[in-house]
A and B are shown apart, each in its own frame.
Chain A
Amino acid sequence: MSNRDYLGEFEHIVILALLRLADRAYGVTVRQEIETRTGREVSIGAIYATLDRLEAKGYVKSQFGEPTPERGGRSKRFFQVTAKGMSAVNRTHRAVQRMIQGLDLVANLS
Protein backbone atom coordinates (compact mmCIF):
# COMPACT_ATOMS: atom_id res chain seq x y z
CA MET A 1 0.00 0.00 0.00
CA SER A 2 1.42 3.42 -0.97
CA ASN A 3 2.22 5.93 1.77
CA ARG A 4 0.13 8.45 -0.18
CA ASP A 5 -3.10 6.59 0.62
CA TYR A 6 -5.71 8.62 2.45
CA LEU A 7 -8.58 7.27 4.45
CA GLY A 8 -12.07 7.42 3.05
CA GLU A 9 -14.68 9.39 5.00
CA PHE A 10 -16.23 6.40 6.79
CA GLU A 11 -12.85 4.68 7.26
CA HIS A 12 -11.66 7.86 8.94
CA ILE A 13 -14.69 7.93 11.28
CA VAL A 14 -14.29 4.24 12.17
CA ILE A 15 -10.56 4.59 12.96
CA LEU A 16 -11.25 7.65 15.13
CA ALA A 17 -13.91 5.62 16.99
CA LEU A 18 -11.34 2.84 17.56
CA LEU A 19 -8.87 5.40 18.94
CA ARG A 20 -11.50 6.89 21.27
CA LEU A 21 -12.58 3.47 22.57
CA ALA A 22 -9.02 2.11 22.98
CA ASP A 23 -9.23 -1.45 24.37
CA ARG A 24 -13.07 -1.47 24.44
CA ALA A 25 -13.42 -1.27 20.65
CA TYR A 26 -15.60 -4.01 19.19
CA GLY A 27 -18.64 -3.95 16.86
CA VAL A 28 -21.28 -2.77 19.36
CA THR A 29 -19.21 -0.04 21.01
CA VAL A 30 -17.84 1.24 17.68
CA ARG A 31 -21.35 1.43 16.23
CA GLN A 32 -22.73 3.22 19.31
CA GLU A 33 -19.77 5.63 19.48
CA ILE A 34 -20.29 6.65 15.84
CA GLU A 35 -24.04 6.97 16.31
CA THR A 36 -23.68 9.09 19.46
CA ARG A 37 -21.01 11.42 18.09
CA THR A 38 -22.21 11.85 14.50
CA GLY A 39 -25.98 11.30 14.94
CA ARG A 40 -25.80 8.96 11.97
CA GLU A 41 -27.42 5.53 12.25
CA VAL A 42 -25.03 2.97 10.84
CA SER A 43 -25.49 -0.75 10.40
CA ILE A 44 -23.25 -3.29 12.04
CA GLY A 45 -22.62 -4.73 8.57
CA ALA A 46 -21.21 -1.38 7.36
CA ILE A 47 -18.90 -1.24 10.39
CA TYR A 48 -17.53 -4.73 9.74
CA ALA A 49 -17.20 -4.15 5.99
CA THR A 50 -15.04 -1.09 6.76
CA LEU A 51 -13.06 -2.83 9.49
CA ASP A 52 -12.43 -5.73 7.10
CA ARG A 53 -11.07 -3.32 4.49
CA LEU A 54 -8.91 -1.52 7.06
CA GLU A 55 -7.57 -4.84 8.35
CA ALA A 56 -6.70 -5.91 4.77
CA LYS A 57 -4.75 -2.63 4.38
CA GLY A 58 -2.93 -3.31 7.66
CA TYR A 59 -4.41 -0.24 9.39
CA VAL A 60 -6.15 -2.22 12.14
CA LYS A 61 -5.71 -5.63 13.74
CA SER A 62 -8.23 -7.75 15.60
CA GLN A 63 -8.39 -10.43 18.24
CA PHE A 64 -11.21 -12.48 19.73
CA GLY A 65 -12.32 -12.11 23.34
CA GLU A 66 -14.04 -14.72 25.48
CA PRO A 67 -17.56 -15.95 24.52
CA THR A 68 -20.27 -14.33 26.68
CA PRO A 69 -23.86 -15.44 27.54
CA GLU A 70 -25.54 -12.18 26.43
CA ARG A 71 -24.11 -12.82 22.96
CA GLY A 72 -25.45 -16.40 22.85
CA GLY A 73 -21.98 -17.75 23.53
CA ARG A 74 -20.33 -15.81 20.72
CA SER A 75 -17.01 -14.03 21.11
CA LYS A 76 -16.41 -10.30 20.78
CA ARG A 77 -13.90 -9.27 18.15
CA PHE A 78 -11.74 -6.43 19.49
CA PHE A 79 -10.03 -4.05 17.08
CA GLN A 80 -6.92 -1.96 17.52
CA VAL A 81 -5.28 0.66 15.29
CA THR A 82 -1.77 -0.30 14.09
CA ALA A 83 1.20 2.04 13.61
CA LYS A 84 0.48 1.99 9.87
CA GLY A 85 -3.13 2.97 10.65
CA MET A 86 -1.93 5.86 12.83
CA SER A 87 0.25 7.13 9.96
CA ALA A 88 -2.75 6.98 7.64
CA VAL A 89 -4.89 8.95 10.12
CA ASN A 90 -2.20 11.61 10.52
CA ARG A 91 -1.65 11.83 6.77
CA THR A 92 -5.38 12.27 6.20
CA HIS A 93 -5.65 14.93 8.94
CA ARG A 94 -2.73 16.89 7.50
CA ALA A 95 -4.29 16.78 4.03
CA VAL A 96 -7.65 17.98 5.38
CA GLN A 97 -5.97 20.74 7.41
CA ARG A 98 -4.04 21.92 4.34
CA MET A 99 -7.30 22.03 2.41
CA ILE A 100 -9.05 23.97 5.18
CA GLN A 101 -6.22 26.49 5.65
CA GLY A 102 -7.25 29.98 4.52
CA LEU A 103 -10.95 29.13 4.32
CA ASP A 104 -13.29 31.06 6.54
CA LEU A 105 -15.68 28.12 7.12
CA VAL A 106 -17.76 29.87 9.81
CA ALA A 107 -18.29 32.89 7.56
CA ASN A 108 -19.22 30.64 4.61
CA LEU A 109 -21.78 28.75 6.66
CA SER A 110 -23.63 31.84 7.93
Chain B
Amino acid sequence: MKFQASFVQPPSVAAWLVDLFTPQEYAESITGDLLEEFSALASKSGVALARRWYWRQSAKTVVGLIGTGFRAAPWSMVGTVLAGFLLLEYATTLPERAIVAVIHLRNHHVTPFYDSKGLASHLFWLNNGILIGRLLVSLIIGCFVAVAAKGREMVAAMTVGFVSVVITVMIFGVLVAKHQPVDPTFLPTILIHQFAGSCMIVIGGVIVRESRSAMSRRSSGV
Protein backbone atom coordinates (compact mmCIF):
# COMPACT_ATOMS: atom_id res chain seq x y z
CA MET B 1 0.00 0.00 0.00
CA LYS B 2 1.40 3.45 -0.99
CA PHE B 3 0.81 6.67 0.97
CA GLN B 4 1.65 10.21 -0.08
CA ALA B 5 3.79 12.09 2.47
CA SER B 6 1.80 15.36 2.58
CA PHE B 7 2.62 16.16 6.23
CA VAL B 8 5.73 17.67 7.87
CA GLN B 9 8.70 15.33 7.66
CA PRO B 10 10.93 14.59 10.68
CA PRO B 11 14.70 15.39 10.56
CA SER B 12 15.98 13.09 7.83
CA VAL B 13 19.37 12.39 9.47
CA ALA B 14 17.72 11.37 12.75
CA ALA B 15 15.21 9.18 10.91
CA TRP B 16 18.06 7.58 8.92
CA LEU B 17 20.04 6.84 12.10
CA VAL B 18 17.03 5.22 13.77
CA ASP B 19 16.43 3.14 10.65
CA LEU B 20 20.08 2.03 10.59
CA PHE B 21 20.13 0.77 14.16
CA THR B 22 16.64 -0.68 14.48
CA PRO B 23 16.36 -4.49 14.23
CA GLN B 24 14.36 -5.27 11.10
CA GLU B 25 11.53 -7.00 12.94
CA TYR B 26 10.78 -3.70 14.74
CA ALA B 27 11.85 -1.22 12.04
CA GLU B 28 8.34 -0.61 10.72
CA SER B 29 6.79 -0.23 14.20
CA ILE B 30 9.48 2.06 15.64
CA THR B 31 9.75 4.42 12.64
CA GLY B 32 5.94 4.46 12.31
CA ASP B 33 5.46 5.25 16.02
CA LEU B 34 8.05 8.03 15.92
CA LEU B 35 6.47 9.53 12.80
CA GLU B 36 2.98 9.37 14.30
CA GLU B 37 4.03 11.14 17.52
CA PHE B 38 6.13 13.64 15.59
CA SER B 39 3.18 14.59 13.33
CA ALA B 40 0.84 14.96 16.32
CA LEU B 41 3.38 17.07 18.22
CA ALA B 42 4.14 19.25 15.15
CA SER B 43 0.47 20.12 14.66
CA LYS B 44 -0.07 20.70 18.40
CA SER B 45 3.13 22.49 19.51
CA GLY B 46 4.94 23.52 16.31
CA VAL B 47 7.52 21.98 14.01
CA ALA B 48 10.60 23.27 15.88
CA LEU B 49 9.57 21.61 19.15
CA ALA B 50 8.57 18.44 17.33
CA ARG B 51 11.94 18.32 15.61
CA ARG B 52 13.78 18.69 18.94
CA TRP B 53 11.61 15.94 20.42
CA TYR B 54 12.35 13.70 17.44
CA TRP B 55 16.12 14.21 17.77
CA ARG B 56 15.97 13.50 21.51
CA GLN B 57 13.90 10.33 21.00
CA SER B 58 16.14 9.19 18.13
CA ALA B 59 19.34 9.65 20.15
CA LYS B 60 17.89 7.76 23.15
CA THR B 61 16.51 5.05 20.90
CA VAL B 62 19.80 4.54 19.03
CA VAL B 63 21.82 4.37 22.28
CA GLY B 64 19.27 1.96 23.77
CA LEU B 65 19.27 -0.22 20.64
CA ILE B 66 23.08 -0.47 20.67
CA GLY B 67 22.93 -1.85 24.23
CA THR B 68 20.03 -4.13 23.33
CA GLY B 69 22.01 -5.47 20.37
CA PHE B 70 24.39 -7.09 22.84
CA ARG B 71 21.89 -8.09 25.51
CA ALA B 72 19.43 -9.73 23.08
CA ALA B 73 21.95 -12.17 21.55
CA PRO B 74 25.25 -11.82 23.43
CA TRP B 75 26.93 -15.02 22.25
CA SER B 76 26.10 -14.67 18.58
CA MET B 77 27.22 -11.03 18.73
CA VAL B 78 30.51 -11.94 20.44
CA GLY B 79 31.05 -14.76 17.90
CA THR B 80 30.37 -12.46 14.94
CA VAL B 81 32.62 -9.72 16.28
CA LEU B 82 35.42 -12.18 17.10
CA ALA B 83 35.21 -13.84 13.67
CA GLY B 84 35.19 -10.41 12.03
CA PHE B 85 38.22 -9.28 14.01
CA LEU B 86 40.22 -12.46 13.24
CA LEU B 87 39.31 -12.16 9.56
CA LEU B 88 40.40 -8.54 9.65
CA GLU B 89 43.73 -9.43 11.28
CA TYR B 90 44.38 -12.05 8.61
CA ALA B 91 43.08 -10.14 5.60
CA THR B 92 44.68 -6.73 6.24
CA THR B 93 48.09 -8.17 5.38
CA LEU B 94 46.84 -9.53 2.03
CA PRO B 95 47.02 -6.25 0.03
CA GLU B 96 50.57 -5.67 1.29
CA ARG B 97 51.65 -9.17 0.35
CA ALA B 98 49.94 -8.99 -3.03
CA ILE B 99 51.36 -5.55 -3.92
CA VAL B 100 54.89 -6.45 -2.78
CA ALA B 101 54.71 -9.69 -4.75
CA VAL B 102 53.54 -7.88 -7.91
CA ILE B 103 56.21 -5.15 -7.56
CA HIS B 104 58.85 -7.78 -6.92
CA LEU B 105 57.80 -9.77 -9.99
CA ARG B 106 57.68 -6.63 -12.14
CA ASN B 107 61.11 -5.41 -11.02
CA HIS B 108 62.79 -8.70 -11.61
CA HIS B 109 61.08 -9.96 -14.72
CA VAL B 110 59.34 -7.11 -16.52
CA THR B 111 60.66 -3.56 -15.99
CA PRO B 112 63.22 -3.11 -13.20
CA PHE B 113 62.97 0.31 -11.53
CA TYR B 114 66.46 1.50 -12.24
CA ASP B 115 65.12 4.84 -13.48
CA SER B 116 63.42 7.56 -11.37
CA LYS B 117 59.99 6.89 -12.95
CA GLY B 118 60.13 3.24 -11.97
CA LEU B 119 61.22 4.12 -8.46
CA ALA B 120 58.38 6.67 -8.11
CA SER B 121 55.83 4.09 -9.24
CA HIS B 122 57.33 1.57 -6.80
CA LEU B 123 57.06 4.03 -3.90
CA PHE B 124 53.55 5.12 -4.89
CA TRP B 125 52.22 1.57 -4.75
CA LEU B 126 54.08 0.81 -1.54
CA ASN B 127 52.77 3.97 0.18
CA ASN B 128 49.28 4.32 -1.23
CA GLY B 129 48.40 1.01 -2.83
CA ILE B 130 48.72 -0.87 0.45
CA LEU B 131 46.59 1.72 2.27
CA ILE B 132 43.90 1.67 -0.43
CA GLY B 133 43.97 -2.15 -0.41
CA ARG B 134 43.59 -2.24 3.37
CA LEU B 135 40.67 0.17 3.26
CA LEU B 136 38.93 -1.96 0.63
CA VAL B 137 39.56 -5.10 2.70
CA SER B 138 38.08 -3.33 5.76
CA LEU B 139 35.00 -2.37 3.72
CA ILE B 140 34.51 -5.96 2.55
CA ILE B 141 34.94 -7.31 6.10
CA GLY B 142 32.43 -4.73 7.37
CA CYS B 143 29.98 -6.12 4.80
CA PHE B 144 30.69 -9.73 5.87
CA VAL B 145 30.22 -8.90 9.55
CA ALA B 146 26.96 -7.07 8.83
CA VAL B 147 25.65 -9.96 6.74
CA ALA B 148 26.45 -12.39 9.59
CA ALA B 149 24.87 -10.16 12.26
CA LYS B 150 21.45 -10.11 10.64
CA GLY B 151 19.25 -7.43 12.19
CA ARG B 152 22.12 -5.98 14.26
CA GLU B 153 24.36 -4.99 11.35
CA MET B 154 25.46 -1.61 12.68
CA VAL B 155 26.17 -2.74 16.23
CA ALA B 156 28.36 -5.61 14.99
CA ALA B 157 30.23 -3.49 12.41
CA MET B 158 30.84 -0.66 14.89
CA THR B 159 32.10 -3.10 17.52
CA VAL B 160 34.60 -4.72 15.12
CA GLY B 161 35.83 -1.24 14.15
CA PHE B 162 36.15 -0.17 17.78
CA VAL B 163 37.84 -3.41 18.89
CA SER B 164 40.40 -3.20 16.07
CA VAL B 165 41.43 0.35 17.11
CA VAL B 166 41.63 -0.59 20.80
CA ILE B 167 43.68 -3.74 20.16
CA THR B 168 46.07 -1.90 17.83
CA VAL B 169 46.70 0.75 20.50
CA MET B 170 47.18 -1.97 23.14
CA ILE B 171 49.68 -3.91 20.99
CA PHE B 172 51.54 -0.69 20.22
CA GLY B 173 51.64 0.20 23.92
CA VAL B 174 52.96 -3.25 24.85
CA LEU B 175 55.68 -3.06 22.18
CA VAL B 176 56.77 0.40 23.35
CA ALA B 177 56.73 -0.72 27.00
CA LYS B 178 58.88 -3.75 26.17
CA HIS B 179 61.36 -1.44 24.40
CA GLN B 180 60.79 -3.15 21.08
CA PRO B 181 62.19 -1.25 18.09
CA VAL B 182 58.98 0.77 17.61
CA ASP B 183 59.08 4.53 17.21
CA PRO B 184 56.29 6.06 19.39
CA THR B 185 55.96 8.92 16.90
CA PHE B 186 54.40 6.44 14.47
CA LEU B 187 51.36 6.12 16.74
CA PRO B 188 49.35 9.06 15.27
CA THR B 189 49.85 7.75 11.72
CA ILE B 190 48.92 4.21 12.73
CA LEU B 191 45.87 5.53 14.58
CA ILE B 192 44.72 7.56 11.55
CA HIS B 193 45.08 4.50 9.28
CA GLN B 194 43.32 2.28 11.81
CA PHE B 195 40.53 4.82 12.29
CA ALA B 196 40.07 5.08 8.51
CA GLY B 197 39.88 1.27 8.39
CA SER B 198 37.27 1.27 11.17
CA CYS B 199 35.23 3.87 9.27
CA MET B 200 35.30 1.60 6.22
CA ILE B 201 34.07 -1.34 8.35
CA VAL B 202 31.15 0.82 9.56
CA ILE B 203 30.45 1.94 5.97
CA GLY B 204 30.33 -1.76 5.02
CA GLY B 205 27.72 -2.22 7.76
CA VAL B 206 25.74 0.77 6.44
CA ILE B 207 25.79 -0.63 2.88
CA VAL B 208 24.44 -4.02 3.97
CA ARG B 209 21.85 -2.48 6.30
CA GLU B 210 20.64 -0.02 3.65
CA SER B 211 20.36 -2.83 1.09
CA ARG B 212 18.31 -4.93 3.49
CA SER B 213 16.07 -1.98 4.40
CA ALA B 214 15.49 -1.19 0.72
CA MET B 215 14.57 -4.83 0.03
CA SER B 216 12.26 -4.87 3.05
CA ARG B 217 10.59 -1.59 1.95
CA ARG B 218 10.12 -2.92 -1.57
CA SER B 219 8.50 -6.11 -0.30
CA SER B 220 6.17 -4.27 2.13
CA GLY B 221 5.41 -1.48 -0.38
CA VAL B 222 6.08 1.37 2.14
A91 interfacial contact with B, CB 8 Å = no
Taken together as a complex, chains A and B put the C-alpha atoms of A49 and B30 apart, in Å, by 11
Q: Are A73 and B3 in contact (CB under 8 A)?
A: yes
Q: How many A-B residue pairs have CB under 8 A?
A: 90
A76 touching B32 in the complex, CB below 8 Å, given contacts A44-B61, A45-B61, A46-B60? yes
Given A45-B68, A74-B32: A28 touches B3 (CB 8 Å cut-off): no
CB <8 Å contact, A71 and B35: yes
Determine the distance from Cα of A43 to Cα of B17 in the docked complex, in whole angstroms: 15
- A60–B196 Cα distance when bound, in Å, is 44
Is A70 a contact partner of B30 (Cβ separation < 8 A)? no
A39 in contact (CB, < 8 A): no
Secondary structure call for the B interface: helix
Chain A CB within 8 A of B31 CB: yes
Question: Contacts A44-B61, A52-B72, A75-B28 known; A28 to B5 CB distance under 8 Å?
Answer: no
Residues of A within 8 A of B (CB): 26-28, 31-32, 43-46, 48-49, 52-53, 67-77
- A27/B35 in contact, CB under 8 A: no
Chain B residues in the interface with A (C-beta under 8 A): 1-5, 7, 18, 22-23, 25-26, 28-37, 39-40, 57, 60-65, 68, 71-72, 221-222
Our pick among A45, A46, A75 for the contact of B32 (Cβ within 8 Å) is A75
Docked Cα-Cα span, A26 to B5, in Å, equals 22
Contact between chains at B62 and A70 (CB < 8 Å): no
**Known contacts A43-B57, A45-B65, A67-B3: A27-B30 contact under CB 8 Å:** yes
Instruction: Assess the B35–A72 pair: CB atoms within 8 A.
Output: yes
Residues of the A chain whose Cβ atoms lie less than 8 Å from the Cβ of B25 = 52
Q: Are A72 and B32 in contact (CB under 8 A)?
A: yes
